[in-house]
Amino acid sequence: MDRKMTLNKAIRFYETGTPEVMRYEDIDVGEPAAGQVRLRHVAAGLNYADTYFRDGTYQIPLSNGMGVEASGVIEAVGEGVTDFKIGDRVTYTGFLNTLGAYSTARLISADVLIKLPEEISCETAAAMTMRGLTSAYLMRRIYDFKKGDTILLHAAAGGVGLIVAQWAKLLGLTVIGTTSSDEKAAIAKAYGCDHVINYSHENVAERVRELTNGVGVNVVFDSVGKDTFMSSLDSLKRRGLLVCVGTASGPIPDFNPVLLAMKGSLYITRPALADYIADPAEKQALANELFDHVASGRIKIEINQRYELKDAVQAHRDLEARKTIGSSIFVI
């Protein structure tokens, strides 16, 4: 292929730090090696986890690309790729194995790709592959939920929060959400939260006890970390489970595990999506369940913020300033 035909762009960074370390650059994509495809991106996901790569929370070799999730159309397939062909619409999410999603096109291993059903657009896919698969394993693999169970969902108006809230209602759960503002609280309620606690001026654990008649919740999903860790433990019922899904406010301080005994023989897990989609069959099963809910309208995915790739610095500033609601994407 004549390389002059398409000028490709990507966001790269050479040192860790504030959003300004990201650079918008020309890249040469080249031809796929064995087991790879060349993918033309249509949209890329903007995830809070991206900031962890950029600021050094997740340590990776530099220089490097940015972003781990995108969707698009296959332009070329390498030797030995049998599951995909030119023209297929696909999506992907990952970790180190998919870094480089903030780009107009790229080479990528075929085994991370998920074929998109016709009913789901590339934009919707980029807004929900990571968030949707995360929600899928949180709701379907971590805990054996029974109808009538109660969960506490921190950051209920975030990208994962809005999907988990909807999925939880499909499972017959009571959902107590937390948000930082009344505007976000209204959105969380619209997506299925039965109760919303504004953590900027309410005591979360106290309110949870009131709402659960003193019992506490079965499971807490905590993506905030340092600021909410103790109140999350204090919100759980005896032998309840704290799922630490992120640390937006900073890392959880060291603690002695005897604390878990003192607070009711609690369980705690810090899962990563990668370990729940490592098995291709399980990844496909979770994706199918997610796509089915979305295609049928049972779970709604709204894209609340759209950015151009060249505006990645501003996009990260908005994320870190808590200005975004729900899902954000880059439109390529």
CB 110 within 8 A of CB 90: no
Q: Which two tokens stand for residue 141?
A: 């693999």
CB 13 within 8 A of CB 22: yes
User: How close are the terminal C-alpha atoms of the chain, in Å?
Assistant: 21
Section 105-125 average pLDDT = 96
Fold of 3-130+301-331: Quinone Oxidoreductase; Chain A, domain 1 (3.90.180)
Q: For the segment 34-73, what is each residue's pLDDT rounded down to a tens digit?
A: 999 999 999 999 998 899 999 999 999 999 999 999 999 9
The count of other CB atoms within 10 Å of the CB of residue 17 is: 12
Binning pLDDT at 50, 70 and 90, where does residue 5 land? low
Q: Which two tokens stand for residue 215?
A: 């019992």
159 phi/psi in degrees, rounded to 5: -60, -45
CATH code for residues 143-270: 3.40.50.720
**Which residue reads 């530099």 in tokens?**
62
255: left (phi over 0), alpha (psi -120 to 50) or beta: beta
HEC readout, 20-34: HHEEEEEECCCCCCC
Across 96-105, 239-248, 274-283, which has the greatest mean pLDDT? 96-105
Q: How far apart are CA 330 and CA 326, in angstroms?
A: 14
Higher pLDDT, 325 or 218: 218
Q: How far apart are CA 197 and CA 204, in angstroms?
A: 7
Section 118-136 average pLDDT = 96
Torsion over CA: 247, 274, 276, 140 (sign): positive
What b-and-e string marks burial along 80-101, b requiring 16 or more CB atoms within 10 Å of the CB? Answer: ebeebeeebbbbbbbbeebbbb
Q: Which residues face 306 on adjacent strands?
A: 329
Q: For the segment 185-215, what is each residue's pLDDT rounded down to a tens digit?
A: 999 999 999 999 999 899 999 999 999 999 9
Which of 299, 292, 278 minimizes the C-alpha distance to 117? 292
3-state class (DSSP) for residue 85: coil
Q: Which two tokens stand for residue 136?
A: 């899928």
Which of 83, 130, 84, 104 minimizes the C-alpha distance to 11? 104
Identical fold, 3-130+301-331 and 143-270: no
Q: How far apart are CA 306 and CA 290, in angstroms?
A: 22
Q: Which amino acid is at 79?
A: E
The secondary structure of 156-187 as a DSSP string is TTBHHHHHHHHHHHHTT-EEEEEESSHHHHHH
- Decide if pLDDT at 247 tops 90: no
3-state class (DSSP) for residue 143: coil
Q: For the segment 148-184, what is each residue's pLDDT rounded down to a tens digit?
A: 999 999 999 988 999 999 999 999 999 999 998 999 9
Q: Tell me: cis bond preceding 232? Omega within 30 of 0 counts.
A: no
pLDDT score at 6: 67
- Decide if pLDDT at 280 tops 90: no
Q: How far apart are CA 328 and CA 332, in angstroms?
A: 13
In the chain, where the domains are located: 3-130+301-331, 143-270
Q: Which amino acid is at 84?
A: F
In this structure, of 1-15, 37-51, 123-137, the range with the lowest mean pLDDT score is 1-15
Section 126-142 average pLDDT = 96
pLDDT score at 2: 47
